[in-house]
Chains A and B, each alone.
Chain A
Amino acid sequence: MSWLQQVLEQGIFAVTAEAGPPKGPDIEVIRKKCAQLKGAADAVNITDNQTAIVRMSSFASCLVARECGVEPVMQMVTRDRNRIALQSDFLGACALGIQNILCLTGDHQSLGNHPQAKNVYDIDSIQLLQMFRLMRDEKKFQNGEEMKGEIDVFLGAGENPFADPLEFRALRLAKKFAAGAQFIQTQAVFDLEIFTHWMEEVRKLGLHQKGSILAGVIPVKSAKALRYMKNEVPGVVIPDVLVRRMEKAADPKAEGVQVCVETIEELKKIEGVSGVHIMAIAWESIVPEIVRRSGLYPRPIKSEVTSP
């Protein structure tokens, strides 16, 4: 069983972080990020060509992370691979001991650095979850053919409580759990009001008991970065008061961390939130401080070594 799953099943408020692979073959980049995150997070998401920009593969980077003693969450998007390639890579990842997979559809390539590329989108994230669950629990490929061997994997998905149509968002979460998601990492929370309302809907539907919900947070370094996210990043909702607060701050970096810590404190109070997912993009070194100041340190220690 993956360590992340164990932490969540023990009812411990979980912490996950995120590390993006390098735009090149230098694995030192991953080692450095892992060294910064080790001990601060129970597992670390390794992104899959995030924002449709070519990077080292999530699969390879996950193996590096494991060598560094960090438990990876391998992100897989359906943008670039069809069901044949996804199942094949899933088997490879499981065989090499990757135990957490996050199923995503992925950012459209026209927003990335190869907008001329052909996309795949053979299946969507919900169908991806369903397919991996079928392989794990029923030992069947997507086409129904029998498969041999045991798979031990913890399946997750993303969800965005802030995107339109807002009324559909909790129902979409229900679909993800029904398709096989065991944990959910949400889009970054800046607007606690919308998030709290979404969680109310989630609880009304009893979804917080169907799996673990980890709320996403992003520490921002400046008002400019925040404004950029507000205007340019699809699916992120940022209240104006927050932008003004960052604008007025004498030390914006410190204020960004403070906002993040305060958000986590609020999230901890919301019934049904089982952990936080800290996405410190290109600022991994700040994660230990955020974890410490949010009262989430030290992290539980692995009783057994899971590396082969």
Chain B
Amino acid sequence: MIIGERKPVKEILQLIGDRKKILVLGCGTCVTVCLSGGEKEAKELASLLRIKKYQASDYTVERQCEPEFIRPLDYRLKEVEAVLSLACGVGVQALADRYPRTPVFPGLNTTFLGMPVEQGRWEERCGGCGQCIVHLFGGTCPVTRCAKSLLNGPCGGSKDGKCEVKPDRDCAWQLIYDRLKLQGRLDALLEIQPPKDWSPSRHGGHRKMIREDMLL
């Protein structure tokens, strides 16, 4: 899922500026599951804004990232000066596209594609590189989970299974080594992985997907 973290209230107030009529718009999908931008969070933020004398209302749509789901908002948007979106950056842009006259502010910092690893802790898993090679590494992605995206083994700083860059994070290469050892596949690590083709990734420019069979 897409993980996002609520921006600090101080920053949100700066974004809103002197606008008074604000719609706080939650999203019912990823950011609901990671407890940052769902209905509950939208209600909380709207009431906080009301305490601070804004005319804030809240609403939550199932998915802000799909035009179909935001279309029913048309009448609500007429009544506000700005929208504070608690969706990920995709949702924010979908709104901004549909309502070009209304300022849409991001209430979250969209952080990564990840998953919950324990109660209250989420971790990044995928960088959306456009050419998945995670099978080569026993199902642990070094592109994303190794701080240096190393494809040929651990750097010289891996210690007690932790990463030298973020000591509270697992070293991806320790995980890869352990998994492949368990599977009796350590020889896979002896193969030299060639430089990755980054052209299908964001480095190749803005990406799109076309399904000819689905086009109208």
Contact = CB atoms under 8 A, between A and B. Distances in A.
Interface of A: 79, 83, 105-108, 110-111, 119, 121-127, 130-131, 142, 158-160, 163-165, 167-168, 171-172, 174-175, 178-179, 187, 234-235
Q: Of A105, A168, A175, A235, which is in contact with the most chain B CB atoms at under 10 Å from its CB?
A: A168
Nearest to A171: B190
Contacts of A235: 155-159, 164
A175 B190 contact: yes
A210 B158 CA distance: 26
A-B pairs with lowest CB-CB distance, top 10: A160-B156, A234-B157, A234-B164, A126-B152, A235-B156, A235-B157, A108-B165, A123-B195, A164-B158, A172-B153
A234 B148 contact: no
Nearest to A78: B148
A127 B197 CA distance: 13
Nearest to A180: B192
Which of the listed residues B149, B166, B198 has the most CB atoms from chain A within 10 Å of its own CB? B149
B154 A187 contact: no
Contacts of B164: 108, 111, 234-235
B147 interface: yes
Contacts of B194: 127, 130
A164 B151 contact: no
Interface residues of B, number: 32
Given A124-B151, A158-B156, A172-B152, 14 more contacts: A119-B148, A124-B152, A127-B195, A131-B195, A160-B156, A163-B154, A163-B158, A168-B177, A172-B154, A187-B156, A234-B156, A234-B164, A235-B156, A235-B158
Nearest to B158: A164
Interface string B174-198: 1001100000001001101111101
Contact of A165 (B152, B177, B192): B177
Given A105-B148, A105-B150, A126-B153, A178 B192 contact: yes
Interface in B128-162: 147-161
A174 B186 CA distance: 14
Given A164-B154, A165-B173, A235-B157, A110 B165 contact: yes
B45 interface: no
Contact of B154 (A108, A165, A178): A165
13 contacts: A110-B147, A122-B195, A123-B196, A124-B151, A127-B151, A130-B192, A160-B156, A164-B160, A165-B158, A168-B177, A171-B190, A175-B153, A235-B156
B152 A127 contact: yes
A178 to B, nearest CB: 6
Interface of B: 147-161, 164-166, 171, 173-174, 177-178, 186, 189-190, 192-196, 198
Contacts of A111: 164-165
A189 to B, nearest CB: 13
A142 B159 CA distance: 33
Give the one of A79, A105, A164 with max B CB within 10 A: A164
Given A110-B165, A124-B148, A234 B159 contact: yes
A50 to B, nearest CB: 13
Contacts of A178: 192
Given A165-B173, A175-B190, A79 B152 contact: no
A69 B216 CA distance: 72
A175 B156 contact: no
A108 B148 contact: yes
A286 B97 CA distance: 66
B174 A165 contact: yes
Nearest to B142: A124
Nearest to A79: B148
A66 B43 CA distance: 68
Contacts of A234: 156-157, 159, 164
Nearest to B166: A110
